[in-house]
Amino acid sequence: MPQYGFLLVLMQPPANLEEEFNAWYDTEHVPERLAVPGVLTAIRFGAVTAAPPAYLAMYDLQSEKVLDSEAYLRVAGDRSSPWTKRVTGRTSVYRSVGNQIYPGDAITIRSARVTIIRFRGVEAGAAESVVAALRTAFEGRASTLQLRVFAYHVEGKVDFIGFVSSAAPDDTNIDPAVFGEHAKAIDLFSTYAPR
């Protein structure tokens, strides 16, 4: 089974840049990324509460190596457009790049809500138990359309992200005990709606 890569970006633009940020994202950034071979999806979301980060973008990749391709590098980093440099230079950005470890080959679907749960600085050997806990917490819910789990390496450890697509606004009141010892590694639990 193939294992797709991913790029997940959380962003918090300053209030006075928000309108321009959204215009840039929709009219330049998303089309530019979707034109890169190997970028399978580029879907944006906005937070349903006022707590930052306000925006989430999810990019499914044929492989995380897509971000090393010449086609991607032509529109990234130092080669970014002046508009991209202006907007991203004033926006707080958190980027994670890695692999989809569960189920491995699913892409982002359109849904009413997306909930992300990040487990920070976990041992790599914990992948199976993190996936099992997320499956227990979300797969039995009537509103859950899809659960995916992503992993990426950070300073010798692994961060895991549960990415839950729901058919309707959902109650995210979950007993932390379902995550066992991994509950203490959760540093982000946020819900977003499509933009």
Instruction: Tell me: pLDDT of 22 over 80.
Output: yes
Residue 172's pLDDT is 67
Residue 118's pLDDT is 97
- Across residues 36-51, what is the average pLDDT? 94
Instruction: Tell me: pLDDT of 170 over 90.
Output: no
For the chain, domains (ranges, CATH) are: 5-194 (3.30.70.100)
- Across residues 127-139, what is the average pLDDT? 96
Separation CA 70–CA 120 (nearest Å): 31
Contacts of residue 113, defined as CB under 8 A and 6 or more positions apart, other chains included, come to 48, 165, 166, 168, 169, 170, 191, 192, 193
User: Residues 191, 172: contact at Cβ < 8 Å?
Assistant: yes
- Across residues 19-27, what is the average pLDDT? 97
Helix (H) or strand (E) holding 134: helix 127-138
Residue 175's pLDDT is 83
Instruction: Tell me: pLDDT of 42 over 90.
Output: yes
Residue 127: burial class (beta carbons within 10 Å; 0-12, 13-18, 19+):
middle
Token reading at 68: 């090393």
Rg (CA), the chain: 16
- Across residues 18-44, what is the average pLDDT? 97
What does pLDDT average to over the chain? 95
Separation CA 38–CA 67 (nearest Å): 9
Separation CA 44–CA 25 (nearest Å): 9
Which of the four pLDDT bands, split at 50, 70 and 90, describes residue 2?
Answer: confident
pLDDT tens track for 135-158 = 999 998 999 999 999 999 998 899
Which of the four pLDDT bands, split at 50, 70 and 90, describes residue 171?
Answer: low
3-state secondary structure (DSSP) of residue 77: helix
pLDDT tens track for 72-102 = 999 999 999 999 999 999 999 999 999 999 9
User: Residues 116, 188: contact at Cβ < 8 Å?
Assistant: yes
3-state secondary structure (DSSP) of residue 10: strand
